[in-house]
Amino acid sequence: MTKRPEKKDRIELLDVLRGVAILGTLGSNVWLFSYVSSPENPLFNTEVRPWESLDEFLATTTLFFTNGKFLALLTVLFGVGLEIQYRSARRRGLPWPSRYLWRSALLFFEGFLHYVLVFEYDILMGYALSAIVVAFIVGRSDRFIRRAMWAAGGLHLALFGLASVALAALTLTAPEAASFSLYSPEAARVYASGSYVDQVLYRLDNLVLYRIEPLFIIPMNVFLYLLGVRLMRSGAFVPDEAGRRIRRKMLRYGLLLGVPLNALVFFPGGLFDLPVRYFFAPVLALGYVGIVALLLDGGALRWLADRLAEVGRLALSCYILQNVLASAVFYGWGLGLAGAFGAVGTLGVMGGIWAALALFSNLWLRCFSQGPFEWLMRSLAALPFRKRKPKAG
Write the pLDDT tens digit of every residue in 95-154: 999 999 999 999 999 999 999 999 999 999 999 999 999 999 999 999 999 999 999 999
Whether the pLDDT of residue 179 is over 50: the answer is no
Residue 243 has pLDDT above 50, yes or no: yes
* 3 lies in some domain: no
State the average pLDDT over residues 336-345: 88
- Please say whether the beta carbons of 254 and 286 come within 8 A: yes
Q: Is residue 222 part of a domain?
A: yes
In this prediction, residue 5 carries a pLDDT of 46
| Stated pTM of the model | 0.92
What rounded mean pLDDT belongs to the chain?
Answer: 89
At residue 15's C-alpha, the angle toward residues 111 and 235, to 5°, is 110
Give a yes or no: residue 4 inside a domain: no
Q: What span, in angstroms and rounded, lies between the C-alpha atoms of 338 and 352? A: 16
Q: What pLDDT shows up at residue 117? A: 97
pLDDT tens sequence across 267-284: 876 678 888 989 999 999
Residue 220 located in a structural domain: yes
pLDDT of residue 218: 96
User: What letter would DSSP give residue 368?
Assistant: B
User: Which residue, among 244, 226, 248, has the nearest Cα to 235 in the 3D structure?
Assistant: 244
The answer to whether residue 147 is domain-embedded is: yes
- Let me know if residue 2 belongs to a domain: no
Is residue 160 one of the residues assigned to a domain? yes
* Number of domains the chain is built from: 1
Average pLDDT over residues 211-235: 95
Q: Which residues form the domain of 264?
A: 12-382
At 230, the pLDDT band (50, 70, 90 cuts) reads very high
Which of helix, strand or coil describes residue 240? coil
- CB contact set of 363 (below 8 Å; sequence gap of 6+): none
Residue 371 lies in a domain: yes
Share of the chain above pLDDT 70, in %: 89
